[in-house]
Amino acid sequence: MSDPDFESWAREVAARMETVLSELLPTKQTTPSRLHDAMRYSTLGGGKRVRAMLVYAAGELADASPQRLRYPAAAVEMIHAYSLIHDDLPCMDDDVLRRGRPTCHVEFDEATALLAGDALQSLAFQVLAEPKLCDRADNQLKLLQVFAGACGSRGMAGGQAIDLEAVGKALTLPELEHMHILKTGALIRASVLMGAYCGREIPAPSFESLDRYAKTVGLAFQVVDDILDEDGDASTLGKTVGKDKAANKPTYTSVMGLPEARKFALELLADAHEALAAFDGRADRLRGLADFIVRRER
């Protein structure tokens, strides 16, 4: 069932992100204009902005100001756009459709797409070097550490490497879970933790519960992504469906079957709510996001 309050908040965050990202990205007129055009093309005008929403929702829990939160929210969306550009390249998933439009290398060219991804990554870290992003400088360093870890070989890039190696192989459930936690879960977890680091100090037991929520929704996101790749609608998703099966890639639906994968996603949703049980109404956006992540159709 859709929640009109959550939907209007989600639309508001998406609109805010469009403005923030547009301001932080170099203009098309700035030299080299083709590269900047490609960076803007891949970052603006599309995407659900789930990661930015998680930053804002976790920040809300810690009473962080939206003025501050726009920096990690923009940084995570830049890294996400970078990962999608590279993921779509012929040397990786070789896809032509993303967010309902031609992929970056199709619209521009492979070299430009590669550079656009690289430049988005450095811009993301530049944005996080904003002075006094957190009340305490050591929290800003922790934020950077979590974010860098989530992007690297023990995070998203590592998950992608395992994904590429797994083509045509049968993975066990623990192996599949490990791949998904790195490839998708790490950046989603980092989104939540970065939002929290921007606000007041959260006591360690509560921070651990928040981290449990973050890890759970991170895994749930990819389980649902696997379900939608099997069972979703290409025009709603704005990307090619059935690619994992065609590429003979192990997914939750290939390993567990579609009904079991759906059941697992709902179990993860219950775990995510359980992790937030001790929080008051300030965690309601995070609760709504867990529902959205698991029940989404795109």
The residue to which tokens 């811009």 are assigned: 123
Burial 253-273 (b: 16+ CB within 10 A, else e): bbbbeeeebbebbeebbebbb
Residue selected from 40, 68, 86, 285 as contacting ligand GRG according to rule CB under 6 A? 86
Count residues binding ligand GRG (CB under 6 A): 20
Residue selected from 25, 38, 47, 219 as contacting ligand GRG according to rule CB under 6 A? 47
Dihedrals phi, psi of 102, to nearest 5 degrees: -55, 145
In single-letter form, the type of residue at position 216 comes to T
Residues 146-175 that bind ligand GRG (CB under 6 A): 151, 156-157, 160
State yes or no: residue 50 binds ligand GRG (CB under 6 A): yes
* DSSP designation for 50: H
Mention every residue, 6+ apart, whose C-beta is less than 8 A from residue 191.
51, 52, 54, 55, 58, 72, 76, 214
In this complex, which beta carbon is closest to ligand GRG, that of residue 199 or of residue 232?
Answer: 232
Question: Could you tell me what percentage of the chain is helix, strand and coil, using 3-state DSSP and rounding each to the nearest 5?
Answer: 70, 0, 25
Q: How far is the CB of 226 from ligand GRG (least distance, A)?
A: 9
In the complex, which residue's CB is closest to ligand GRG?
47
Number of neighbouring beta carbons within 10 Å of residue 6: 17
Check if the beta carbon of residue 162 is closer than 8 Å to that of residue 182: yes
Residue selected from 41, 82, 252, 292 as contacting ligand GRG according to rule CB under 6 A? 82
Residue selected from 40, 53, 68, 87 as contacting ligand GRG according to rule CB under 6 A? 87
**Binding segment toward ligand GRG, per CB under 6 A, in 1-9, 74-82, 165-173, 256-264:** 74-82
Check if the beta carbon of residue 113 is closer than 8 Å to that of residue 105: yes
State yes or no: residue 83 binds ligand GRG (CB under 6 A): yes
In this complex, which beta carbon is closest to ligand GRG, that of residue 87 or of residue 230?
Answer: 87
**What CA–CA distance (Å, rounded) separates 34 from 50?**
28
In this complex, which beta carbon is closest to ligand GRG, that of residue 96 or of residue 202?
Answer: 96
The residue to which tokens 């928040």 are assigned: 210
State yes or no: residue 261 binds ligand GRG (CB under 6 A): no
Site string for ligand GRG, 210-249 (x = CB under 6 A): ------------x--x------------------------
Check if the beta carbon of residue 202 is closer than 8 Å to that of residue 196: yes
What does the binding site for ligand GRG look like in residue numbers (CB under 6 A)? 47-48, 50, 79-80, 82-84, 86-87, 92, 99, 151, 156-157, 160, 183-184, 222, 225
